[in-house]
Amino acid sequence: MTEKRLLVVHTGGTIGMVPGAHGLEPANGFEALMRQRLGERLDTLPAFELVELAPLIDSAELLPAQWRTIADAVVTRYDEYDGFVVLHGTDTMAYTASALSFMLQGLDKPVIVTGSQIPLSRARNDAEGHLLAALALAAHEKIHEVGLYFNGRLLRGNRAVKVDASALAAFDSPNYPPLGEVGIDIRLREDLLLPVASRAFTLPAFDNTAVAVLRLFPGIGSALLQAVLSQPGLKALILQSYGVGNAPVTAPGLLETLEAAVAQGTLVVNLTQCPRGAVAASTYATGSALAQAGVIGGADLTVEAAFAKLHWLLAMGNTPAQAAALMQRPLCGEQRGH
């Protein structure tokens, strides 16, 4: 294990932040801090090198176009290393982990995305444990996918969601069991891990304006929906509906607006706003009407995974019909099959 070589890609985020004039801000030179803080605990882990994005990004500012830059940092050095750790802010970590999973299909090495709620620069932090565990996981021969490690658990990257703004247990994967637990030992659920597939890395140029998300609320009308749909460059809309996929379909103009958008080639995907569970739009009349209007059911995808998947499918040049078909089947473990 100690002969392996790992690459750490530092993109920004709390894990590497230091206090600035207006609060925590990204800082260069993380490798020195990491080696100083982890000291001889690194001796039992594989050797690593670290590259930093320039500039480092607070992930709240991260754009879809930058997913490609992060993937590129892995792909251009893919053959030189045995595994990869991507350090990222927690705010949009689940989006980036999802996007990486689509771009890096057919991985035969681990890519472990992690970050922390408290910076490594603070005396008491959750960063040290995350770094040590992520390095160990990135050297694990059984992992061939993008995982997200946080607070003792390895989650599938495209199933993960940030569920807590304040607690150290900040991530969960509500519709899929953890891939592993890191306690006294590393225990992986090998039955859940993705098998090795043929390498199919594709890093398209993402259009930041292509996908939007609209959460339904009591009283929503067609004017707001129309406003969102008229955003320049919009090609797909995620509609976060109620429960198993229901919407106020008798609201004046709502269904007609959706029908018109679908007819013009906009993909509309129905996801539940419940933290857990899946869309089964034909259960209620209010859901069936959406399906009849051409809205696609997004099964048990997280919003983050659906957002990244739509971006990826569109950036890859799929037609609306092709993208609609691919939204309804798993490509890399992001949603349940039929």
> Closer to ligand ASP at the Cβ: 25 or 49?
25
**44 annotated active-site:** no
Least distance CB 139 / ligand ASP (angstroms)? 24
270 belongs to the binding site for ligand ASP (CB under 6 A):
no
Which pair of structure tokens corresponds to residue 13?
A: 């985020």
Binding residue for ligand ASP, selected from 13, 64, 147, 245, defined by CB under 6 A:
13
Using CB under 6 A as the binding rule, whether residue 60 contacts ligand ASP is answered as yes
> Which of 11, 14, 92, 114 does the annotation list as catalytic?
14
Question: Which residue from 8, 9, 12, 281 is in contact with ligand ASP, where contact means CB under 6 A?
Answer: 12
Q: Report the candidate in 231, 238, 216, 191 with the shortest Cα–Cα distance to residue 286.
A: 216
Among 90, 274, 214, smallest CA distance to 164 is for 90
Choosing from 4, 59, 210, 239, the residue that interacts with ligand ASP (CB under 6 A) is 59
Please identify which residue in 115, 157, 180, 298 interacts with ligand ASP, judged by CB under 6 A: 115
Side-chain-side CA neighbours of 142 within 13 Å: the count stands at 13
Pick the stretch among 38-46, 53-61, 153-161, 179-187 that binds ligand ASP (CB under 6 A).
53-61
- Smallest distance from ligand ASP to CB 55, Å: 13
Q: List Cα–Cα distances, 322 to 37, 292, 314, 316, 318, in angstroms.
A: 49, 18, 9, 11, 6
| Selected range binding ligand ASP among 52-60, 122-130, 223-231, 317-325, rule: CB under 6 A | 52-60
* Identity of the residue, 115 or 297, whose beta carbon is nearer to ligand ASP in the bound complex: 115
CB of 60 to ligand ASP, least distance (A): 5
**How near is the Cβ of 199 to ligand ASP at its closest, in Å?**
30
Contacts of 117 (CB under 8 A, 6+ apart): 14, 90, 126, 166, 167, 168, 170
- CB closer to ligand ASP out of 170 and 313: 170
Q: How many C-beta neighbours within 10 Å does residue 188 have?
A: 19
Residue 161 near residue 308, CB atoms below 8 Å: no
- Give the CA distances from residue 99 to residues 102, 263, 266, in Å, rounded to whole numbers and listed in that order: 5, 27, 21
Query: CB-hemisphere CA count at 13 Å for 6?
Result: 28
Q: CA–CA distance from 295 to each of 108, 210, 313 (Å)?
A: 35, 17, 17
Nearer to ligand ASP, 90 or 270 (CB): 90
Question: Which residue is it, tokens 């299909």?
Answer: 105
Nearer to ligand ASP by Cβ, of 60 and 197: the residue is 60
Among 6, 14, 56, 173, binds ligand ASP (CB under 6 A): 14
Nearest CA-CA partner of 96 in 123, 127, 63, 139: 63
Q: Amino acid identity of 14?
A: T
Shortest distance, CB of residue 61 to ligand ASP, whole angstroms? 8
Binding mask 84-103 for ligand ASP (x = CB under 6 A): -----xxx------------
Which parts of the chain fold into alpha helices (H)?
30-38, 64-75, 93-103, 127-138, 222-229, 254-263, 285-292, 303-315, 320-326
Considering the rule CB under 6 A, would residue 83 count as an interface residue with ligand ASP? no
* Catalytic residue positions, numbered: 14
Which parts of this chain interact with ligand ASP (CB under 6 A)? 12-14, 58-60, 89-91, 115, 117
